[in-house]
Chains A and B, each alone.
Chain A
Amino acid sequence: MPLSQLTTHTLLSLGKHPLSGRTRRAEQDAKAFELAAKLGQCLGLHAGNYQDADALKSFAGMSIAPVCILEIEQSADPVAALSAYFKQTKSDIILTGSQAERGESSGMLPYLLAKSLDLPVINQVCEVEQTEAGLNITQALPRGARRAISVKPPCILIIDESAPEARQTAYGAAMRAEVGKLQGYNETDTDAASFNFEDASKKPKRMKKIKAKTAADRFKAATVSQAKGGQVIEPKTSQEGAEAILKLLKEEGLVKTN
């Protein structure tokens, strides 16, 4: 039985090169777009100003799907606009990055959108597969671990860094592409108007604090090296040595205990 055709939207934002500061495609969104390429019919959507159309062409240059701008005013809240859009246009999957490269970059957008549309949201997604029951999702956890999750569309998926690399954008295709335009719903984000951004100041390195109460402790802290040196075993048989190692591995939960 052929699987039903899914409609997918990828939310695209403008990136900023961390060193040159030049406008570029947001890398995470590009990864999301790449993942959307294999999930059926797709549209790239950006809520913002139509003046940014040129910069968004780099997404169109990936030749995955058309790119469209949901036009809203400078001070308007993109979440409200997107929410209004998705209430009218149904989408099975909405793919987003985890954090914008400009502005507040709080990473709240997918969660707020999920709340207003009443959809499940899954973070750190690195693979999506369509099954008869819905979607099988691989979630990337720290230290290379992976978790399997199943969910029924419609849903919102937040892409992880470890998702497959996005393809490059082709300059010619990007220049030829037309960026669509839709009128978005405007709702002013009052908090954001008062935001005052400054260049990031450097985080100081945390110093080791010595909180000794007595002179003897202070003297010890200043003179004795902290290197403790662990347990040293000279095993009679190699079996004995191996058991000691295995015991520690079991304590750390790295080898299954029976």
Chain B
Amino acid sequence: MANQVKRVDPHIERIKRNRLHPRHLELTATAISMGPNGVIRKDPHKIGFMGPNGIKRIDRANLNQASGSSVNQMQIEEQKPKHIIESPTRYIVVLPDLAAGRLSSHDKDVLGYAHSLANENTAVIAIAFGEHKETGWQDAGVDRLLELNDDIYQGFSPEARIQALVQIEQSLDVAHFLFPDSIDGGADLGRRFAAELDSRPVTHGWKPLEDSIICRASAGTQDLTKTLSKVMLLDAEVADPIDETQHAASTLDELELAVSAKALINDLGMLAVNPADISLSVAPFILSGGNGIRDWDTFHQAASVLGATEGASRVAVDDGFMPRHRQVGASGIWVSARVYIAVGISGAVQHLQGISQVDKVIAINTNTKCDMIKRADLSIIADSTDILNALVELVQAQEISEGESHAA
């Protein structure tokens, strides 16, 4: 992270105070000033500094910004060593799932594994099918990036994607194609591709050995050691993600792909799912109520307007406001939502355990000191009913204005 740290150089401070010091003028002079007519003047004599051999030097590239000022604004950005592959002769292709548009930790593990198979002439290519929001390719170990987001690659489009992969395999010297073996898409695409190439893949590979990898077999109850294959499907945590080097992630553009849009499988789009039908443990968005809810009707209305699955704390369940299967926490359900709104929940350990997998927590509470606020990414200190009512109004107002703009 970029940390701004001010560092004062006492040596320069001392020179600035001592008019007799040979470098005094150089450090105090301001080379650029406003002339009498309001024109910016540069004094060429005052620019630059004396080099070590008594020759005047002008630092036009600004390499040595520190010289005029004793306060050095240092950017403590971890300067990771750069990992640059100029002219690769061999490639390893990784197909991240990009679930929710970003590299998942599973994707990053697979990228880490790709680098363990690479040598100094190998570039790791990541192929991003469809739209994505990822920006951290360089830090995740991507040497080359190929973004394929034409219409034919959107949604569920295995046929187009396989065509593209086959052409890549024909035009580049690819040692391995690596897929995360996950339900977010990698498991399916990888198996399709292995079948297309007619090569027996590594599936559920989880423990790399020297020239082979241990795979889970018999639905996870047995291990099977396989030699490395062209197509490999890997479990999460197969290797550590890349975090010590910075990679180029330059675009790979010398490829000409000719993919036909003809498909036997037609994606008709996502279906509207009633949030109440989604099992609490996998629901992506949960509105959870606790002892701080005064008006349960407002709570239910807010959940339906926002399209959130309902959850509850144990007290809310014990008091009979919510059914038992909605209870979140140690003695209830462990949730994995991307956003969890805790309304009037104090954040007892038993409850916090249940939400340890949650990405973003929003707390609505009247008490600034409660533990939920320490856990939350965004906390609103206000009465639960008021905020829920305001939320409902806001969303409904937006829907109405949207409806009007559509009608217009």
Residue in B203, B224, B394 whose beta carbon sits within 8 Å of that of A243 in the complex: B394
Residue in A111, A229, A253, A258 whose beta carbon sits within 8 Å of that of B398 in the complex: A258
Whether a CB of chain A sits under 8 angstroms from the CB of B13 is no
Residue in A121, A233, A246, A248 whose beta carbon sits within 8 Å of that of B360 in the complex: A248
Residues A18 and B378 in contact, CB atoms below 8 Å apart: no
Residues A191 and B200 in contact, CB atoms below 8 Å apart: yes
A252 to B, closest residue via Cβ: B339
Given A245-B341, A245-B362 in contact, is the A145-B266 Cβ separation under 8 Å?
no
Contacts of A107 in B (CB 8 A): 187, 191, 203
B106 shortest CB reach to chain A, Å: 12
CA distance A203 to B216 in the complex (A): 11
A183 shortest CB reach to chain B, Å: 26
Given A115-B195, A248-B339, A252-B360 in contact, is the A148-B368 Cβ separation under 8 Å?
no
Residue in B156, B195, B283, B362 whose beta carbon sits within 8 Å of that of A144 in the complex: B283
Residues B195 and A245 in contact, CB atoms below 8 Å apart: no
- Please give the residue numbers on chain B whose beta carbons come within 8 Å of chain A beta carbons, in ascending order: 99-100, 155-156, 159, 183-184, 187-188, 191-192, 194-196, 198, 200-201, 203-204, 206-207, 214, 216-225, 237, 240, 243-244, 264-271, 273, 277-279, 282-285, 306-308, 338-339, 341, 360-362, 364, 368, 373-383, 386-387, 389-391, 393-395, 398, 401-402, 405
CA distance A255 to B386 in the complex (A): 20
Residues B373 and A229 in contact, CB atoms below 8 Å apart: yes
Scan residues 217-245 of chain A and give those whose CB is less than 8 A from a CB of chain B.
227, 229-235, 237-239, 241-245
- Pick from A4-12, A46-54, A94-102 the stretch touching chain B: A94-102
Given A111-B195, A144-B278 in contact, is the A200-B373 Cβ separation under 8 Å?
no
A83 shortest CB reach to chain B, Å: 12
Jot down 11 A-B pairs with beta carbons below 8 A, ordered by A: A16-B219, A16-B221, A102-B219, A146-B271, A146-B273, A147-B270, A200-B221, A211-B243, A234-B382, A238-B382, A258-B398
A236 shortest CB reach to chain B, Å: 10
Contacts of A243 in B (CB 8 A): 394
Given A152-B264, A244-B378 in contact, is the A101-B339 Cβ separation under 8 Å?
no
Interface string of A119-162 (1 = CB under 8 A from B): 01111100000000000101101111111111110010000000
B211 shortest CB reach to chain A, Å: 15
Residue in B191, B361, B391 whose beta carbon sits within 8 Å of that of A246 in the complex: B391
Between A106, A139, A255, the greatest number of chain B beta carbons within 10 A of the residue's beta carbon is seen for: A106
Given A108-B194, A200-B220, A255-B306 in contact, is the A233-B373 Cβ separation under 8 Å?
no
Contacts of A147 in B (CB 8 A): 155-156, 267-271
B214 to A, closest residue via Cβ: A201
CA distance A239 to B394 in the complex (A): 8
Given A108-B194, A146-B271, A146-B273 in contact, is the A16-B278 Cβ separation under 8 Å?
no
Residues B270 and A145 in contact, CB atoms below 8 Å apart: yes
Residues A138 and B284 in contact, CB atoms below 8 Å apart: no
A194 shortest CB reach to chain B, Å: 10
Contacts of A100 in B (CB 8 A): 218-219
CA distance A102 to B216 in the complex (A): 11
Between B203, B207, B368, B390, the greatest number of chain A beta carbons within 10 A of the residue's beta carbon is seen for: B390
Residues B224 and A254 in contact, CB atoms below 8 Å apart: no
A168 shortest CB reach to chain B, Å: 21
A119 shortest CB reach to chain B, Å: 8
Residues A242 and B391 in contact, CB atoms below 8 Å apart: yes
Scan residues 77-125 of chain A and give those whose CB is less than 8 A from a CB of chain B.
99-108, 111-112, 114-115, 120-124
Given A142-B183, A147-B270, A151-B265 in contact, is the A245-B206 Cβ separation under 8 Å?
no
Residues B201 and A106 in contact, CB atoms below 8 Å apart: yes
- Please give the residue numbers on chain A whose beta carbons come within 8 Å of chain B beta carbons, in ascending order: 16, 18, 99-108, 111-112, 114-115, 120-124, 136, 138-139, 141-152, 155, 191, 195-201, 203, 206, 209, 211, 227, 229-235, 237-239, 241-246, 248-249, 252-255, 258
Given A199-B223, A249-B306 in contact, is the A145-B378 Cβ separation under 8 Å?
no
B341 to A, closest residue via Cβ: A245
Contacts of B224 in A (CB 8 A): 104, 195-198
CA distance A40 to B360 in the complex (A): 47
B270 shortest CB reach to chain A, Å: 5
Contacts of B188 in A (CB 8 A): 123-124
CA distance A108 to B405 in the complex (A): 49
Contacts of B266 in A (CB 8 A): 149-151
Residue in B203, B271, B279 whose beta carbon sits within 8 Å of that of A106 in the complex: B203
Pairs of residues from A and B, 6 with the lowest C-beta to C-beta distance, nearest first: A144-B278, A242-B390, A230-B377, A111-B195, A238-B386, A148-B268
A229 to B, closest residue via Cβ: B374
Residues A139 and B156 in contact, CB atoms below 8 Å apart: yes
Residues B269 and A148 in contact, CB atoms below 8 Å apart: yes
Contacts of A139 in B (CB 8 A): 156
A74 shortest CB reach to chain B, Å: 17
A118 to B, closest residue via Cβ: B264
Residues A149 and B374 in contact, CB atoms below 8 Å apart: no
B180 shortest CB reach to chain A, Å: 12
Contacts of B306 in A (CB 8 A): 249, 254-255
Beyond the given pairs A197-B223, A200-B222, A258-B402, 8 more chain A to chain B contacts, judged by CB atoms under 8 angstroms and listed by A's residue number, are: A108-B191, A124-B183, A142-B99, A147-B268, A198-B224, A229-B373, A233-B381, A235-B382
Residues A105 and B402 in contact, CB atoms below 8 Å apart: no
CA distance A241 to B331 in the complex (A): 31
Given A115-B195, A254-B338 in contact, is the A242-B268 Cβ separation under 8 Å?
no
B362 to A, closest residue via Cβ: A245
Contacts of B277 in A (CB 8 A): 144
